[in-house]
Amino acid sequence: MRNKLLLCAATATVFFTWAAKDPILMTVNGEGVKLSEFEYLYHKNNQQQLEKESLDQYLQRFEIYKLKVADAKAAGIDTTAAFKKEFDGYANDLAKPYLEDSTVNKRLAREAYERMQKDVNVSHLMLALGHDAESNAKQKAKLDSLRKCILAGQSFEDLAVKYSADRSAQHNKGDYGFIVAGRYPYQFDYACYNTPVGKISQVFETPYGFHIVRVNAIRPTRGKVLVEHIMKLFPRNASDSLKDVLRGKMDSIYNVVKGGANFEDVAKKESGDPGSASRGGLLPWFGAGEMVQPFDSISFALPDSAISKPFESPYGIHIIKKLGHKGIDSYEQCEKRIMQEIQGDERASMARDEKVKQLSKEYSLKENKGLSKYLAGEMAKNGGYDSTLVAKLRNSDVTAFSIANTKVPVSVVAEKLAGKAPLKTAEAFNNYFNNFMKSIESAKLFDYAKAQLPVKYPEYGNLMNEYRDGMMLFEISNRKVWEGASNDTKGLEEYFKANKDKYQWSAPKFKGTLVYTKNDSVSNAFRAAMLKVGGDTALTSLKKQFKNDIRIERVLVAKGENPQVDNLVFGAEPKVPNDKHFKSCVLFDGKTLDQPEEANDVIGLVTNDYQGVLETRWIDSLKAKYPVVVNQNVLKLVK
């Protein structure tokens, strides 16, 4: 008993010590506001103001701010689906930096840049992926056997021609030549840059198949080159005689450009490469291995400004003019692009995976090692994995795993597992289950870790509070004040009549309707029709009669603000309307006012002023409705 009392006392001491560090500054409608939240907003406000507010001044504004938030909560604004969706999206974006290991991405970016300093000469053999886990295992085992044959002395090239699923092996025997970093999937790059010269990599998998590579040589990167080229394409199944004709044409073109003709002009006229001909043969900057041989090697070997003799590639005959070369950009220049590449391939999950390891340790993730066997047994009893088994597992008291001693029941796993994989057999289930459980566990870990962020990182909690309250404040203010004023036509009119002296014009204004017509004939017809109709629906009936031959515009303008009104009302010289469809104008109705006669005549000003009235009434009602209690002793702690 004594030990229990000591434990309780120790626990209470920790709690009260923690609470004392962040005490409640005030309560609004019974809900506490911590000192840290107030200090955060107080200092942020003063940083944004030209003239700093005193503590008492800001406290008054803060109380009103929290009163409005309390009213928004009372209205249920934070419970709507739209609010939750928007807030959750913001919360996820804000939490992301806290829930990934940024050091992993930085390490991967540096690794990528270091690889960019070298070109690797590799040979490659690939087998295609299978249709399922079983066939994948067979393909991997087959490639492993081929690797052993090569290690035993068989020709890499012969086996690549015979077995490789990479079609290029039929003509290059698996020889990729020198490649540059970043052109291939990360696993491929990793194998090329981590296998010693003369050695063969272990079998590895990419989204395209199973691979082995042999590293033949490594050299410092040659950077990139910029070239223009003129090309004559070999037509499909071109005869030797046709190729001879093309060779003769390219020899003539070579003599022309070597004789001083403008290379770009000749390329535009003669080149058969539609992608570059319009640009004078200009290609983008490229690095080693990005072009077919011998285009690649000739481009790098040429001196700047030199023009190559005609040469052939598998696609046709080329003449190259080299414009320049450059080395690799600095890391700072490359970093943004490298980071984008990391987020677009398999490396994107590495930072998350590393964070999962950290969170698993931090929050004591404990797996039920027997879960797979338990579920496989239940499947066997049920004859498969279907809705019947899911319904049964919903009520199971078996724990799937636990996070920080919080148990996650098997029902959660059962619901998510249904329909996700071919689970009719225990074998299929076991092949899928481990990866599936990792995804469930990591998702729950991140959910739990995100829930701890406001306590673990006060700056995160303050930002979340600010954004949530800001969203509620905007919506409740819109309802009570902004839209409230716009929708209260009776209140606006009454306010205008009571405050007419505030809204005076310095000059008379015309208030009425202009009708723009397509030509003078339509104007004359419209005037004649005006004499035959009357009443409140006159304009509507005329619109139906003349349809697209007229355009109606209601105006409230002073002299000099509208040329048509100046002509028709104030006697100025007539002007043709500045509209290619409507060349004439008719005055339908209207009158000249010395001063506004109703709220709509000065609606912007009246609405703005009336919003201020509603704001004041609202604040007065909030002070009467929701009690605010400030702890003056805690207020003294504000730094």
pLDDT-derived band at 394 (thresholds 50, 70, 90) equals confident
User: What is the 3-class SS of 571-604, one letter each residue?
Assistant: CCCCCCCCCCCCCEEEEEEEEEECCCCCHHHHHH
Report residue 64: phi and psi, to 5°. Answer: -65, -40
| Beta strands per DSSP E along 461-532 | 509-517
| Mean pLDDT of all residues belonging to the chain | 89
Beta bridge partners of 406: 403
Answer for the pair 511, 601: CB distance below 8 angstroms, yes or no: yes
Sign of the dihedral through C-alpha 77, 82, 87, 90: negative
Instruction: Return the higher-pLDDT residue of 630 and 405.
Output: 630
Helix axes 102-115, 348-362, angle to 10 degrees: 140
For β-strands 366-367 and 399-403, DSSP reports them as antiparallel
CA-closest candidate to residue 440, choices 402, 404, 405 = 402
Domain borders along the chain are 118-220, 224-327, 363-448, 505-594
Contacts with 26 (C-beta within 8 Å, 6 or more apart), sequence order: 32, 33, 38, 63, 66, 628, 629, 630, 631
CA distance 46 to 48: 5
Name the one residue in this structure whose structure tokens are 């490298």: 338
CA distance 228 to 238: 25
CATH 3.10.50.40 correct for 224-327: yes
Q: What's the CATH class of domain 118-220?
A: alpha beta
Mean of pLDDT values over 365-389: 81
* Assigned token pair, 602: 């000065």
- The reported pLDDT for the residue numbered 49 is 79
- The reported pLDDT for the residue numbered 251 is 96
Mean of pLDDT values over 412-440: 68
Q: What is the DSSP string of 179-204?
A: E-TTSS-HHHHHHHHHSPTT-BPPPE
Mean of pLDDT values over 312-335: 93
For β-strands 224-233 and 175-179, DSSP reports them as unpaired
Q: Would 118-220 and 224-327 be classified into the same CATH topology?
A: yes
Q: pLDDT for 94-144, tens place per residue?
A: 998 888 888 899 999 999 999 999 999 999 999 999 888 788 999 999 999
pLDDT-derived band at 8 (thresholds 50, 70, 90) equals very low
Query: Which pTM was predicted?
Result: 0.65
